[in-house]
């Protein structure tokens, strides 16, 4: 309970019936005979089994919670009535739900004799969905609101499927006949409008959204920046705030484990060159294998695929480098920090070497999809590496490159003094926005894969105010 209360206080979570229900659940769990020392790890393990067994943490009875909204399925609503009813997602694919063919179809001869045996399973599914939709509509005593996407048809704006069959005048914004609406125990049908572009100032429609938009608890002016953090802020300031302020550790993705093993082997290779000796091919690959052996992979087959990929890429890398002149390595996996406009920026250079003309060349190894010269030209990461090289060796890099291990080929570019000034301005702009606590969410294609999508206020949609439909004016 202490950990739970600390978390509520740390993240400024208000005391609500849902929080009270969670606290009661944790307290009851701590008193169970199966509970050991009641640690966080034990509770999370118990919660995994609890949810797997379809367990639920229930709120108090609706009668004990004033002005509560009751959410239920159409099946459960049978036999009940409510003053106001909202049916959501009344569109093909949601309600009615999409038909899914059973692995083994129930024999027609064994079906209910009152049901036509000539109709296929898909048609029977549609009939049942239609009955449920009617049940949902007739639960309303005073008003009914149905939310659905508009049809793309210019002639008929009604949503597809069941609402297509509603009589004329039943749909709001068309000619409205109150008598028809009352016949269906309803006065209103609403359509969810098209999703509009996010406003400059995002409005939260729920307590969760308001909580997400609260100012950070940490002093964000004291954080350090990196190329990854700057790019993440550009993509979505709210996600940047959540990950930086809450400091939530992400899962160790298999691709990252593989990349770490490859970089460990490359560091050993470059460290040997810097020390004036060479690493044998067998020892080089063994470093990679040793790191892979100690890396956690949930899927053994996936690990085998990564091992085969790494052995092939690193083997080719070694063979290609072995026929070249030995480079003068200045640093391998060099950690740096620099101050730009009072902001600390950190990073790590994979390899820095002296060129034949006395210049500096910077290399960043890439284990993922190959990057080309255009991406290298636009890369903020390479620009920050160039700033670090200028600070460390007092000269701009002669060349700077992504080295794609997938193709064993570099994507080279350069950075001019003017380009580095633009990089400094970019860092300052992000730092200033963080200083001004600008953490509004920024919607985009990246939202599809965001782990905070379900909590984000940009994804919220407001419910509409219930209004009585007014009779159409008589015409003469």
- pLDDT tens digits along 125-168: 888 888 888 888 888 888 888 777 766 666 665 666 777 666 65
pLDDT at 4: 80
pLDDT at 313: 95
Q: Please give the residue that has the higher pLDDT: either 404 or 61.
A: 404
User: Which strand (E) or helix (H) includes residue 240?
Assistant: helix 237-245
Report long-range pairs for 379-382 (Cβ below 8 Å, ≥24 apart). 379/413, 380/227, 380/230, 380/231, 380/423, 380/426, 381/227, 381/228, 381/347, 382/413, 382/415
Residue 137 lies in a domain: yes
Yes or no: say if 315 and 282 are a contact pair by the CB < 8 Å rule.
no
pLDDT at 451: 83
Residue 362 lies in a domain: no
Q: What is the mean pLDDT of residues 369-373?
A: 91
DSSP characters for 375-426?
HHHH-HHHHHHHHHHHHHHSS--SEEEEEETTTTEEEEE---HHHHHHHHHH
60, 59, 30: which is closest to 46 by C-alpha?
30
Residue 332: strand pairing partners:
351
Indicate the pLDDT class of residue 68, thresholds 50, 70 and 90.
low
Q: What is d(CA 103, CA 116) in angstroms, rounded to the nearest whole number?
A: 21
pLDDT digit string, tens, across residues 216-252: 888 887 889 999 999 999 999 999 998 888 877 665 6
Same domain, 48 and 137: no
Residue 428 has pLDDT above 70, yes or no: yes
DSSP state of 207: H
Q: What is the mean pLDDT of residues 372-380?
A: 94
Of the residues 183, 211, 234, the one at which a domain ends? 183
Residue 7 lies in a domain: yes
Residue 100 lies in a domain: yes
Same domain, 109 and 12: no
Tokens read off for 241: 């705030």
Same domain, 27 and 96: no
Dihedral sign (CA 299, 305, 311, 314): negative
Same domain, 47 and 101: no
Same domain, 144 and 75: yes
Q: What is d(CA 308, CA 306) in angstroms, rounded to the nearest whole number?
A: 5
Q: What is d(CA 110, CA 465) in angstroms, rounded to the nearest whole number?
A: 48
Q: What is the CA radius of gyration of the chain?
A: 31
Residue 145 lies in a domain: yes
pLDDT at 343: 86
Same domain, 102 and 169: yes
pLDDT at 5: 80
Residue 363 has pLDDT above 90, yes or no: yes
Same domain, 52 and 148: no
Q: Please give the residue that has the higher pLDDT: either 404 or 166.
A: 404
The domain spanning residue 132 has which CATH number? 3.30.160.800
- 86: helix, strand or coil: strand
Same domain, 14 and 117: no
Same domain, 103 and 117: yes
pTM summary value: 0.63
105-114, 337-346, 427-436, 448-457, range with the lowest pLDDT? 105-114
Residue 325 lies in a domain: no
Of the residues 164, 183, 202, the one at which a domain ends? 183
Query: Which positions ≥6 away from 465 have C-beta within 8 Å?
Result: none
Q: What is the mean pLDDT of residues 314-325?
A: 90
Tokens read off for 459: 């994804």
Q: Please give the residue that has the higher pLDDT: either 65 or 107.
A: 107
Q: What is d(CA 83, CA 139) in angstroms, rounded to the nearest whole number?
A: 8
Same domain, 117 and 14: no
**In the chain, what's the furthest Cα-to-Cα distance?**
101
Same domain, 80 and 173: yes
pLDDT at 47: 87
Q: What is d(CA 387, CA 145) in angstroms, rounded to the nearest whole number?
A: 59
Residue 272 lies in a domain: no
Share of the chain above pLDDT 70, in %: 78
Q: What is the mean pLDDT of residues 198-224?
A: 74
Same domain, 82 and 164: yes
Of the residues 23, 46, 63, the one at which a domain ends? 63
Structural domain of 142: 69-183
pLDDT at 197: 38
Q: What's the total number of domains in the chain?
A: 2
């Amino acid at each position: 309970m202490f950990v739970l209360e600390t978390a509520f206080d740390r993240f400024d979570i208000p005391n609500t019936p849902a929080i009270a229900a969670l606290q009661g659940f944790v307290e009851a769990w701590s008193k169970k005979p199966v509970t050991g020392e009641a640690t966080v790890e034990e509770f999370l393990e118990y919660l995994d089994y609890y949810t797997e067994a379809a367990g639920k943490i229930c709120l108090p009875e609706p009668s004990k919670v004033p002005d509560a909204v009751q959410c239920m399925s159409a099946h459960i609503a049978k036999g009940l009535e409510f003053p106001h009813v909202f049916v959501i997602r009344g569109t093909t694919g949601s309600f009615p739900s999409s038909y899914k063919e059973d692995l083994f179809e129930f024999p027609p001869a064994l079906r209910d004799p009152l049901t036509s045996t000539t109709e296929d399973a898909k048609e029977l599914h549609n009939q049942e969905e239609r009955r449920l939709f009617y049940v949902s509509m007739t639960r309303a005593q005073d008003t009914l609101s149905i939310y659905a996407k508009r049809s793309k048809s210019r002639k008929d704006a009604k949503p597809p499927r069941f609402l297509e069959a509603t009589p004329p005048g039943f749909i709001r914004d068309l000619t409205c006949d109150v008598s028809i609406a009352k016949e269906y125990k309803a006065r209103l049908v609403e359509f969810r409008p098209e999703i509009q572009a996010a406003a400059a100032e995002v409005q939260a429609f729920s307590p969760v959204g308001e909580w997400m938009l609260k100012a950070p608890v940490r002093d964000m002016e004291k954080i350090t920046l990196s190329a990854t953090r700057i790019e993440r802020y550009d993509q979505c300031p709210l996600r940047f705030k959540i990950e930086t302020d809450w400091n939530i550790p992400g899962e160790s993705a298999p691709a990252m484990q593989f990349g770490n093993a490859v970089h460990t082997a490359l560091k050993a290779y470059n460290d040997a060159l810097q020390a004036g000796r060479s690493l044998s091919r067998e020892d080089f690959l063994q470093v990679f294998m040793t790191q892979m052996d100690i890396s956690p992979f949930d899927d053994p087959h996936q690990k085998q695929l990564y091992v085969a990929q790494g052995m092939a890429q690193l083997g080719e890398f070694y063979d290609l480098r072995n026929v070249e002149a030995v480079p003068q390595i200045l640093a391998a996996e060099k950690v740096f920090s620099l101050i730009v406009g009072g902001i600390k920026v950190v990073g790590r250079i994979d390899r820095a070497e002296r060129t034949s003309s006395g210049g500096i060349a910077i290399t960043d190894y890439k284990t993922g999809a190959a990057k080309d010269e255009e991406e290298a030209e636009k890369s903020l990461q390479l620009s920050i590496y160039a700033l670090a090289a200028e600070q460390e060796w007092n000269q701009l890099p002669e060349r700077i490159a992504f080295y794609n291990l997938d193709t064993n080929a570099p994507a080279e570019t350069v950075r001019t003094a003017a380009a580095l000034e633009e990089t400094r301005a970019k860092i300052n702009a992000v730092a200033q926005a963080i200083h001004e606590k600008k953490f509004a969410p920024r919607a985009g294609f990246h939202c599809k894969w965001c782990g905070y999508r379900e909590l984000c206020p940009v994804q919220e949609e407001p419910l509409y105010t219930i209004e009585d439909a007014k009779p159409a004016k008589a015409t003469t």
